Chains A and B, each alone.
Chain A
Amino acid sequence: MTRQAKSQATSRAPEPGSRFAPGETVRVAERPALGHCRTPWYLRGKTGVVASVQGIFRNPEQLAYHQPGLPKRVLYKVRFEQAAIWDDYRGPAGDHLEADIYEHWLEPASRSAPDLEKAR
């Protein structure tokens, strides 16, 4: 029996080399997922702000196919304005949505992008 399921729960302070910092504006990559993917369709191409760094985890896209999923990837909690996600959002401008997104699905976004709040 192949022993693949090592603990995913060993999140700790991120490696010094994590690409993004809390407060930084990031854009979710817009590219097709090749198989299992935990970056939801509705967030592809959307811009948000890193709310926190959640730690490092094995890559689920590889674990799904019995691969070890190494090296571990940094996971970020990213906060989005709902109005920036949905054209037809029925709610006030202050509503937000947060999702946990892996580093390889994030790109730096232009800092001159309009109406992006600082992370609280």
Chain B
Amino acid sequence: MTHHDHDDHDDHDHDHHDHDHKHPHASPQKDHDTGPVGAYEMLEETIRSLLIEKGVLTAQEIAAQVDLMDSRSPALGAKVVAKAWVDPDFKKRLLADTRSALAEVGIDIGTLADYRIVENVPGIHNVIVCTLCSCYPKLLLGIPPAWYKSLAYRSRVVVDPRGVLEEFGVELPEGTEVRVHDSTADLRYLVLPMRPKGTRGWSEADLAALVTRDCMIGTAISAVPKGKRKAA
């Protein structure tokens, strides 16, 4: 078996474009319905069918949970960021008691972990990682990208965050502190990026469009695209 230096395999289901993504797709993969079935896929089916048979889980519950995760995407986090940008009192509440503030806007973060916001301010740029596994604010951002879960990111961003940021194309003003947060316990972190200059008077929706997933991980900076004075 070939050695992977990243954790996820190149498995591509062309029917599952449930969420907005701006990244390039992989080269065409073998069709999921006619290619060979993997051992782990069969194991999943085995376990699922046994758990349903034994009444531990129901097919409906599993399907509902899959749908729930499919419904979570960075757009959710972006909405929260935009609201924090336009509403200073909301931002205060968001920073002080993230769970309650998210509940205000209809986002339930469940019982597994509490969420914390780390705010980018002039002079401080935050980056999130989980070196020990892959803890991530999934209920706000959806499933993490493969690179976030990779050994390469987990190992390197703590010791060479500026090198990683450079690779991601992030340029920071001179004198900015880079602050890495390792999610080692049951707290999930989200970066509140700085509101880009030139966005005064923008609607929340237009502002949210400037907030990408990577902005909220810390591997990108929110900016008004060149040549664009106001979003369409």
Contacts and interface: CB of A to CB of B under 8 A. Distances in A.
Q: Does A pair with B?
A: yes
Query: Which bucket holds chain B's interface residue count?
Result: 20 to 34
B113 A98 contact: no
B183 interface: yes
B42 interface: no
Interface string B154-184: 0000111111000000000001011111111
Interface residues of A, number: 30
B111 interface: yes
B181 A42 contact: no
Contacts of A101: 184-185
A1 interface: yes
A100 interface: yes
B186 A8 contact: yes
A86 B160 CA distance: 10
A8 B112 contact: yes
Contacts of A75: 185, 187
Nearest to A1: B56
A75 B187 CA distance: 10
A85 B99 CA distance: 32
A38 B160 CA distance: 21
A15 interface: no
B131 interface: yes
Contacts of A2: none
28 contacts: A1-B56, A7-B111, A8-B112, A9-B112, A9-B114, A11-B114, A38-B185, A40-B132, A42-B158, A54-B187, A85-B159, A86-B159, A90-B163, A91-B162, A91-B178, A94-B175, A95-B162, A95-B177, A95-B179, A97-B158, A97-B181, A97-B182, A98-B179, A100-B183, A100-B184, A100-B187, A101-B184, A101-B185
